[in-house]
Amino acid sequence: MVFHDVLIIGGGLAGLRAAIEASKNGLNVAVISKVYPVRSHSVAAQGGINAALKSNDNWEDHAYDTVKGSDYLGDQDAIEIMCKEAPEDIRELERMGAVFSRDADGDIAQRPFGGAGFPRTCYLADRTGHGLLHLMFEQIRKYEVTVYPEWFVTDLIVEDNIARGAIALEMLTGRFHRLHAGALIMATGGYGRVFGITTNALTNTGDGMGLALRAGAPLMDMEFVQFHPTTLKRTGILITEAARGEGGYLLNSKGERFMKSYAPNAMELASRDVVSRAEQTEINEGRDINGCVYLDLRHLGREKILERLPQIRDISISFAGVDPIEEPIPIRPGMHYSMGGIMTDKDGKTPVEGLFAAGESACVSVHGANRLGGNSLLETIVFGRRAGQSVTEYCSGSKVAAFPKSALQDATRKAAMIFERDAGVKSSELLERVNSAMMECCGVFRTEEKMKEGLDRVRAVREDLPKVTLTDKGNVFNMELAGVYELEHIVDLAESILLGAIHRKESRGSHTRLEYPKRDDKDWMKHTLIYKDGPEMRIDHKDVTVTRFEPKERKY
Amino acid sequence: MEITVKVKRCNPQGNADCKPSWQSYDIKAEVGMSVLEVLLDVIAGVDPSLVCRRSCRSAICGSCAMKINGRPLLACDTQIIEEYEKAGRIELEPLDNHRVIKDLAVFQEPPWDEFDKIIPYLNEKDKDVAMTAEDEHAIDASQKCIMCGSCNSVCNALEMEKNYLGPAALAKAWRFVGDVREGKKEKRLDRLSQEHGIWDCVRCVHCTEYCPKDVAPLSAIERLRDKAMAYGIDDNHGAKHSTAMVDSIRRVGRLDEAAMTFKTLGLLRSIGMIPFGMKMEMHGKMPHPVVLPAIDGIDEVRKIMDKREEEKKKEELD
């Protein structure tokens, strides 16, 4: 059995950044990922990464914008850390070899983003995530981090509340392996595939959140699901916020810039929850174009579009059949990001000893009820690094716990059971049922009645999980088998999102309830925790940390 | 629209020799659907055992490169109806120059193994160097690479020589050599000039033609060659051949194959080429090895070359 001081599950930005830090500190580090690391969905982040770099900007303003964007649910101590450490992290990325677009003075260029009072989003054209993910991949080669590419983690091994390693399925051979580790870091990203239409990759099934939940760690603030204002209708493919940052307009069917009725000052650059609600209202009230509104870039001119938004132009042409130089792009709000995730402290620690988390799969929480554009890449870098640091301290201070003998056998037995079933349902049918329930019952506007219906539908799918059968009975690259494990997580996450959303009787950030249209700081200025330590999920709470910004009404 | 999609399937289950077979799926395609979307429909609804890698669906993760009607393309970035109307068929195969794992998924030794050979990270200079917009543009194309493997799959040199670094890794190499902040350019160029490096490329332009992200690997390779020679790294067949070609043009205004062979390979190895030379002669492919008159207007040719060399001197080493 192999042993690593640290086993990092997930090879996106947060996981690789943590790997670099832990490896620099002399630990024996491995990254395990169900895809080759550069395929991770960090690669698709388009717009940029926030940092107060300029002399006339400062981290306190960045922190204020973030707290306000979070609708005061973000923990301000964590937000302060993120915003204060951001500039040094950007400089460090540059030293590693990151390339950013430059301004006329030769400095790192920064563009305006939604909900931000200052243009502080650094970028590489509209493929910032691609640039940074490939950079991180370069760096893990430099630090000689072991990578297990296309290994699918099926179980976390936690006993007596201490993390001991994982069991993983090697896709190439179909073999299950034991990976003994002194500590684990979950960095598996979001769960977009819980919803039928999402900007997320096909691989974003929230495996890490599901694994951690089952291992006894709580999930926090799962009801907060970000709907991005500009996604393509049929596929949910993302059009970056930078399109509005560079000056794009949102228009309804009457050709009006409707944001003037919702956010007269910030207009198209209000925070994402505000813009998505505005669009959905326009659509619901009939001022739509086939269920969409328009994103109009034409006035930016050919040159600016080609220089600053080239990928967006390609995406629009390929996936919507529209050249934004000539025509407006039909867009609508689409599921994009999970503010919630595995509850961690500021150093990535979860309540399970030796289990850490970072990035979108974690909930620190720096995003609260709504994340600002440009803060997710930042979170992966700052808190990935911090998790790598704190895992080092953990490893030097604790003994390695033994790996239980039965774990491998349990895992192979479960797979054998799935293989042996003959009659039953295809996992794709069950997935479709969860997806449609979440689309219909847990969108931008929510009601008690619909959410309860959604919960019933999801629980019905759970009942059917033991009936899943496989068409592919082979060992080599059995993606259908991996899909069964993914589906189990999707069901758990769908249920936790719905439970949290039904429980929270107020409207805050991305969570908008028609029966409770106002934010309620008296009763709901607190985080929601979901545990699965018994047969049923249970709900608990945690206070929000307020340091310098007292809650007040949000206006954009 | 109803379309028959043919997929070349292969399920080795660990055995190296697997005979692929074609399987057809009748599908319904809507306007705007990509080849990948159709494959996902097939996998979800008809045949969950069909394997293709996929992730982002928006042409940035590099997972779903495959041969579509004979050309390497990203399945997510190819409109199925358009492609069908153009070609009259939809035939999907795994990428060439890669071993098949199962169906459309291939082993990823290239590009990853080669990627390690080019030292895939920046070696910082001793002091911080700030990048300008111009510096960024110099390497912009090569860092658009998504490592999808399309270029390697159509590379003629790689097909003949498995040890060649290949276009993907070399485009990546230029990303570092061309970076103003890189501190070990000469060492890199020295390594890249060794056997199976930059001089293995036969300049068929396939890599640049088929790259889905406009990385233009060939131009990265050409820039690496230029830089290597500018650094005086010319003790190899590739650089010698290049120099001999320039000499030949300056002298007679055309290629003097005999002289070039001699200058590239040296006396002893050139003697070994004599039978090959005679065969070429028989087919009228060989100019006279001793007497080769200059073309008319050779002075004009030399003027052009003088001008270019003057320009080149101005492009300083950094």
Q: In CATH, what class is A407-534? A: mainly alpha
Question: Which site among A99, A123, A204 would you substitute to test the B interface, given the most B Cβ atoms closer than 10 Å to its Cβ?
Answer: A99
Residue B13: band (very low, low, confident or very high) from pLDDT cuts 50, 70, 90: confident
| Contact (CB, 8 A) for B68 and B88 | no
Residue A302 pLDDT > 70: yes
What tens digit of pLDDT does each residue of B273-297 get?
Answer: 888 888 888 888 877 766 778 899 9
Contacts of B44 in chain A (CB under 8 A): 426, 428, 431-432
Query: Exactly one of A272, A308, A313, A332 is catalytic; which is it?
Result: A272
Tokens of B23: 């399987």
Domain count, chain B: 3
Residue B89 pLDDT > 70: yes
Q: What is the pLDDT of residue B19?
A: 87
Contact B132 A428 (CB under 8 A): no
Average pLDDT, chain B: 91
Which amino acid would we find at residue B13?
Q
Listed range (A25-34, A547-556, B304-313) with the worst mean pLDDT? B304-313
CATH 3.50.50.60 domain range(s) in chain A: 2-225+337-397
Looking at the partner chain, which of A237, A426, A476 has a beta carbon nearest the beta carbon of B58?
A237
Residues 315-334 of A with CB under 8 A from B: 315, 318-321
- Tell me the angle at which helices B166-177 and B217-230 cross, rounded to the nearest 10 degrees: 50
What tens digit of pLDDT does each residue of A48-92 get?
Answer: 999 999 999 999 999 999 999 999 999 999 999 999 999 999 999
Contact B59 A315 (CB under 8 A): yes
| Contact (CB, 8 A) for A417 and A388 | no
For residue B113, the domain's CATH number is: 1.10.1060.10
Looking at the partner chain, which of B61, B101, B143 has a beta carbon nearest the beta carbon of A131?
B143
Chain A nearest C-alpha distance from B199 (Å): 25
Q: What is the pLDDT of residue A345?
A: 98
Shared domain check, B220 and B159 = yes
What tens digit of pLDDT does each residue of A328-338 get?
Answer: 999 999 999 99
Residue carrying the six token digits 């059971």: A417
Contact A43 B61 (CB under 8 A): yes
| Contact (CB, 8 A) for A146 and A4 | yes
| Contact (CB, 8 A) for B248 and B254 | yes
Residue A17 pLDDT > 90: yes
Q: What is the pLDDT of residue B312?
A: 80
Shared domain check, B266 and B176 = no
Looking at the partner chain, which of B47, B115, B130 has a beta carbon nearest the beta carbon of A471?
B47
Contact A38 B146 (CB under 8 A): yes
Contacts of B79 in chain A (CB under 8 A): 318
Shared domain check, B132 and B76 = no
Q: What is the pLDDT of residue B285?
A: 80
Shared domain check, B93 and B18 = yes
Residue B159 pLDDT > 90: yes
Chain A nearest C-alpha distance from B102 (Å): 7
Shared domain check, B67 and B134 = no
CATH 1.20.58.100 domain range(s) in chain A: 407-534
Tokens of A125: 């054209």
Residue A488 pLDDT > 80: yes
User: What is the DSSP code (8-state) at residue B294?
Assistant: P
What tens digit of pLDDT does each residue of A181-238 get?
Answer: 999 999 999 999 999 999 999 999 999 999 999 999 999 999 999 999 999 998 999 9
Residue A152 pLDDT > 70: yes
Shared domain check, B260 and B208 = no
Can you tell me whether residue A337 is helix, strand or coil? strand
For residue B54, the domain's CATH number is: 3.10.20.30
Q: What is the CA radius of gyration of chain A?
A: 22
Shared domain check, B188 and B222 = yes
Chain A residue with minimum CA distance to B103: A477
Q: Does A449 touch chain B (CB under 8 A)?
A: no
Contacts of A106 in chain B (CB under 8 A): 130-133
Shared domain check, B279 and B218 = no
Q: What is the value of ipTM here, to two decimals?
A: 0.94
Q: What is the pLDDT of residue B271?
A: 87
Q: Does A265 touch chain B (CB under 8 A)?
A: no
Chain B residue with minimum CA distance to A479: B51
Q: Does A92 touch chain B (CB under 8 A)?
A: no
Shared domain check, B192 and B159 = yes
Q: DSSP characters for B134-165?
A: HHHHHHHTGGG----SHHHHT-HHHHH-TTS-
Shared domain check, B264 and B210 = no
Contacts of A95 in chain B (CB under 8 A): 124, 128
Q: What is the pLDDT of residue B277?
A: 83
Mean pLDDT of all residues in B29-34: 90
Question: Which site among A38, A193, A336, A425 would you substitute to test the B interface, given the most B Cβ atoms closer than 10 Å to its Cβ?
Answer: A38
Residue B110: band (very low, low, confident or very high) from pLDDT cuts 50, 70, 90: low
Residues 93-112 of A with CB under 8 A from B: 94-97, 99-103, 106
B272 CB-contact burial (10 Å; exposed 0-12 / middle 13-18 / buried 19+): exposed
Superfamily of domain A2-225+337-397: FAD/NAD(P)-binding domain (3.50.50.60)
| Contact (CB, 8 A) for B58 and A315 | yes
Looking at the partner chain, which of A149, A311, A477 has a beta carbon nearest the beta carbon of B102?
A477
Residue contacts between A and B (CB atoms, under 8 Å): 144
Between A549 and B281, residue with greater pLDDT:
A549
Shared domain check, B286 and B185 = no
Q: Does A44 touch chain B (CB under 8 A)?
A: yes
Contacts of B128 in chain A (CB under 8 A): 95
- CA pair distance B120, A39, nearest whole angstrom: 17
Contact B37 A235 (CB under 8 A): yes
Residue B125: band (very low, low, confident or very high) from pLDDT cuts 50, 70, 90: confident
* Catalytic residue check, A504: no
Residue A45 pLDDT > 90: yes
Q: In CATH, what class is A230-333? A: alpha beta
Q: What is the pLDDT of residue B306?
A: 92
Contact B11 A44 (CB under 8 A): no
Q: What is the pLDDT of residue B317?
A: 52
| Contact (CB, 8 A) for A80 and A405 | no
Residue B309: band (very low, low, confident or very high) from pLDDT cuts 50, 70, 90: confident
Q: Does A421 touch chain B (CB under 8 A)?
A: no
Q: DSSP characters for A146-204?
A: EEEETEEEEEEEEETTEEEEEEEEETTTTEEEEEEEEEEEE-----GGGSSSBSS-TT-
Contact B13 A475 (CB under 8 A): yes
Cα maximum dimension of chain A: 67
Chain A residue with minimum CA distance to B82: A318
Residue B316 pLDDT > 60: no
Looking at the partner chain, which of A35, A172, A318 has a beta carbon nearest the beta carbon of B101?
A172
What tens digit of pLDDT does each residue of A446-473 get?
Answer: 999 999 999 999 999 999 999 999 999 9
Shared domain check, B77 and B135 = no
Contacts of B146 in chain A (CB under 8 A): 38, 43, 130
Q: What is the pLDDT of residue B14?
A: 67
Mean pLDDT of all residues in A276-292: 96
Contacts of A231 in chain B (CB under 8 A): none
Domain residue limits at B43: 2-106
Q: What is the pLDDT of residue A423?
A: 85
Looking at the partner chain, which of A95, A201, A320 has a beta carbon nearest the beta carbon of B57?
A201
Average pLDDT, chain A: 96
What tens digit of pLDDT does each residue of A308-335 get?
Answer: 898 889 889 888 889 999 999 999 999 9
Contact A35 B63 (CB under 8 A): yes
Q: What is the pLDDT of residue B289?
A: 65
Residue B318 pLDDT > 70: no
**Residue A48 CB neighbour total at 10 angstroms:** 30
Q: Does A355 touch chain B (CB under 8 A)?
A: no
Looking at the partner chain, which of A97, A172, A472 has a beta carbon nearest the beta carbon of B49?
A472
